[in-house]
Amino acid sequence: MSQRHSWLQRIQRHQKGTMTLEYIVALPMFFLLGLVLWQFVIAGLAMMDTHSALRGAMQVFVTTKSSDRAKKQAMRSFGQQKPYRLQSFLIKIRGNEVLAVATTEIPIFFARMKPLIYKKELRSPFLQDYTGIPSSELVYLQAPYSSHLSENGIFRSPVKVWQMTSAYGVRRNPFTGRIMEMHAGIDLAGPVGTPIYAAGDGLVLAAGPVRGFGNWIVIAHGNGLVTIYGHMYKDQIYVKPGDYVKSGQHIAGIGNAGRSTGAHLHFEVRAGGIGGTSLNPLRFIAR
């Protein structure tokens, strides 16, 4: 009996020793796995911040043509107090386009290695002039620079009830469902007649019939930025070219005119006038 008890004690001691050894081996592995996962998280955040910095800088450059202001915007977008850093930034005009290049340095946490270098490029058409804008209005469009790219946006929502049915970017043609095409704004659905408000103070450049939208309103807000409102019915447009409007002013009602699949407001933000570069309106709207 005593021999059997002694044998059981040996087995128990052996099992405890094995479990202790397993813990000793497993803990560093879990720690290393945690560092690897954290490395992926940091790398993903660094890539997102790099993209954001490029987009912000590009928007400033196409509206101001100032590389210094674009670089400052890139630094603001990237932020501070982060483990990774914006190593270099360059923006320049090359041919008929603007090229922005950002390089981000990402440290390695789980090994003594050189930092990872992430490089991203962004291109945009270079606007030589304010296409489609009468020369008498260029003074207004080229007003002194002010920060249109604040963190929370500078434009108010053009409608009170927010129901976005189509986002900015490439999408399938809503009529054919096959062709992929660029959607230069956002679509905000609502019943016919729902009030549309000016997104900011500005000068009305156009208000009336146009191909595609049926009818539209174009408002210049200074600094080269314009907002475009489309698909209203003609009898529900309450402003005319040359009017100066205030932010939040009732300018029209939602309609279903032109090439449309249902009552909605098509809303755009453009840099460089009516024929300029389209920008994602969600970056400008404070909601």
* Structural Rg of the chain based on CA atoms: 28
pLDDT exceeds cutoff 80 at 106: yes
Percentage of residues in the chain with pLDDT exceeding 90? 22
Q: Identify the pLDDT of residue 158.
A: 94
Q: Tell me the C-alpha distance between 91 and 71, whole Å.
A: 8
Sorting pLDDT into bands at 50, 70 and 90, what band is 3?
low
pLDDT exceeds cutoff 70 at 102: yes
Least Cα distance to 148 among 226, 218, 91, 93 occurs for: 226
pLDDT exceeds cutoff 50 at 257: yes
Tens digits of residue pLDDT in 53-99: 777 777 677 656 678 888 887 887 776 677 888 888 888 877 656 78
pLDDT exceeds cutoff 90 at 130: no
102, burial (CB in 10 Å: exposed 0-12, middle 13-18, buried 19+)? buried
**CATH level 2 (architecture), domain 135-286:** Distorted Sandwich (2.70)
pLDDT exceeds cutoff 80 at 154: no
**Mean pLDDT for the chain overall:** 77
Region 162-172: what's the mean pLDDT? 83
Q: Identify the pLDDT of residue 79.
A: 67
Percentage of residues in the chain with pLDDT exceeding 70? 72
Sorting pLDDT into bands at 50, 70 and 90, what band is 237?
very high
CATH 1.10.3470 is held by the domain 2-125: no
pLDDT exceeds cutoff 90 at 131: no
0.85 exceeded by pTM: no
Residue 235 DSSP one-character state: G
- Where on the phi/psi map is residue 103: left (φ > 0), alpha (ψ -120 to 50), or beta? beta
Q: Identify the pLDDT of residue 126.
A: 53
**Residues 6+ positions from 248 with CB-CB distance below 8 Å:** 156, 197, 198
Tens digits of residue pLDDT in 194-205: 999 999 888 998
Sorting pLDDT into bands at 50, 70 and 90, what band is 175?
low
User: Domain map of the chain by residue range?
Assistant: 2-125, 135-286
Q: Tell me the C-alpha distance between 101 and 122, whole Å.
A: 7
- 3-state secondary structure at position 119: strand
- Backbone angles phi and psi of 191, in degrees to 5: -60, 150
